[in-house]
Amino acid sequence: MIKALITGGCGFIGTNLIRYVLSTYSDWRVVNLDLLTYAGNIENTQGLEEAYPGRYTFVRGDIADAGLIDDLFDRQRFDIVLNLAAESHVDRSIEDPSVFLRTNVLGTQILLDAALKYKVERLVQISTDEVYGSLGKHGQFTEDMNLAPNSPYSASKASADLLIRAYVKTYGLDAVITRCSNNYGPYQFPEKLIPLMVLNAYEDKELPVYGDGKNIRDWIYVGDHCRGIIMVAQSGVGGEIYNMGGDTQMENIEIVRMILDYIHKPHSLIKFVKDRPGHDFRYAMDYSKIETELGWCPAVKFEEGIEATIKWYLENKRWWEAVRTGEYMNYYERMYGGR
């Protein structure tokens, strides 16, 4: 049996990853450690204890709580740690960077200390393409590029990546970093572009597009990312970094129009609003390293993935109504009210 700690398992990617691992690898046991912030929903993992007896446990807790982490590692003796716990939304990081530093930087360092002390075989840090900064019209990010983060979110993720490098070099920790482009799919919190636009369109609300809508992201279906994370965990080389991307560079406005067309809503719902400060223009991933070394490449075409995702939101109204709490409504008003 492989005993794995997955942090942030009640969030978007964590939920998809835990479901993938439990259904694909019968020799993995998973402990999900999640603080259940506004972005974490315990309902996402409901039923897993019963569906996979003895293979899934949930623990509520903070990765930045050193006492809790030490106690958990001491009791569980994990073979592997997959760190997904994070504050993950750029706009929120612009509003208040402090919690991003606490969770994404300090929290990671506390996990690294525990991984060393309890001789974890491998730690995988789930990082992001945003650590590389912004691209102009041409080129792609490669693993050897300098880090040039532009938002408090990406700066916190880049800081964690640098700490990992230091723990590998200084203490000989076996850690690997994955950097992936923008994910989409089921269970994504409706503050991120795709689910926000789907729900606003469904409810005939305005679709707030930042600036001229021409910023470009490289979209990947979440299932492809999850598969890559496990390949890196199993076969990646210690100390290395692996980029993942979806081969789908699209302007935000193209995606928004596609969503409206799919739900049969008018383009007049689009509202161009004040741009995000420091808004990165374009992300695009060169994933040839993981493709050559581990045989990974994205499998889900954007047209199929976006259709499945829109359908999922339309069929899971109860899920998104429940996650849109009072806190979210206040955030939405603060963020878009005067824009």
Partner that binds at residue 10, options ligand TYD, ligand NAD, none, CB closer than 5 to 8 Å by kind: ligand NAD
Does residue 248 belong to the site contacting ligand NAD (CB under 6 A)?
no
- Please report how close the Cβ of residue 151 comes to ligand TYD at its closest, in angstroms: 8
Does residue 190 belong to the site contacting ligand NAD (CB under 6 A)?
no
Catalytic residue status for 129 = yes
- Catalytic one of 56, 132, 153, 167: 153
Considering the complex, state which of residue 18 and residue 131 has its C-beta at the smaller distance from ligand TYD.
131
Considering the complex, state which of residue 173 and residue 194 has its C-beta at the smaller distance from ligand NAD.
194
Catalytic residue status for 167 = no
List binders of ligand NAD among 9-68 (CB under 6 A). Answer: 10-14, 33-37, 39-40, 62-64
Footprint of ligand TYD on this chain (CB under 6 A)? 90, 182, 192-193, 196, 208-210, 215, 217, 252, 276
157, 227, 282, 289: residue in contact with ligand NAD (rule CB under 6 A): 157
| Nearest of 3, 143, 23 to residue 72 by alpha carbon | 3
Amino acid at 322: A
CA distance 214 to 296: 29
- Please report how close the Cβ of residue 274 comes to ligand NAD at its closest, in angstroms: 23
Instruction: Report strand pairing: 216-218 vs 249-251.
Output: antiparallel
Considering the complex, state which of residue 28 and residue 153 has its C-beta at the smaller distance from ligand NAD.
153
Does residue 103 belong to the site contacting ligand NAD (CB under 6 A)?
yes
Partner that binds at residue 210, options ligand TYD, ligand NAD, none, CB closer than 5 to 8 Å by kind: ligand TYD
Considering the complex, state which of residue 11 and residue 208 has its C-beta at the smaller distance from ligand NAD.
11
Partner that binds at residue 161, options ligand TYD, ligand NAD, none, CB closer than 5 to 8 Å by kind: none
Considering the complex, state which of residue 111 and residue 209 has its C-beta at the smaller distance from ligand TYD.
209
- Please report how close the Cβ of residue 231 comes to ligand TYD at its closest, in angstroms: 23
**Phi and psi of 31, rounded to 5°?**
-105, 125
3-state DSSP of the chain: CEEEEEECCCCHHHHHHHHHHHHHCCCEEEEEEECCCCCCCHHHHCCHHHHCCCCEEEEECCCCCHHHHHHHHHHHCCCEEEECCCCCCHHHHHHCCHHHHHHHHHHHHHHHHHHHHCCCCEEEEEEEHHHHCCECCCCCECCCCCCCCCCHHHHHHHHHHHHHHHHHHHHCCCEEEEEECCEECCCCCCCCHHHHHHHHHHCCCCEEEECCCCCEEECEEHHHHHHHHHHHHHHCCCCCEEEECCCCEEEHHHHHHHHHHHHCCCHHHEEEECCCCCCCCECCECCHHHHHHHCCCCCCCHHHHHHHHHHHHHHCHHHHHHHCCHHHHHHHHHHHCCC
Partner that binds at residue 196, options ligand TYD, ligand NAD, none, CB closer than 5 to 8 Å by kind: ligand TYD
CA distance 262 to 311: 10
- Please report how close the Cβ of residue 325 comes to ligand NAD at its closest, in angstroms: 13
Does residue 126 belong to the site contacting ligand NAD (CB under 6 A)?
yes
- Catalytic one of 129, 161, 174, 191: 129
Partner that binds at residue 209, options ligand NAD, ligand TYD, none, CB closer than 5 to 8 Å by kind: ligand TYD
CA distance 37 to 294: 34
Catalytic residue status for 79 = no
Does residue 180 belong to the site contacting ligand NAD (CB under 6 A)?
yes
81, 82, 84, 155: residue in contact with ligand NAD (rule CB under 6 A): 84
Catalytic residue IDs = 129-130, 153
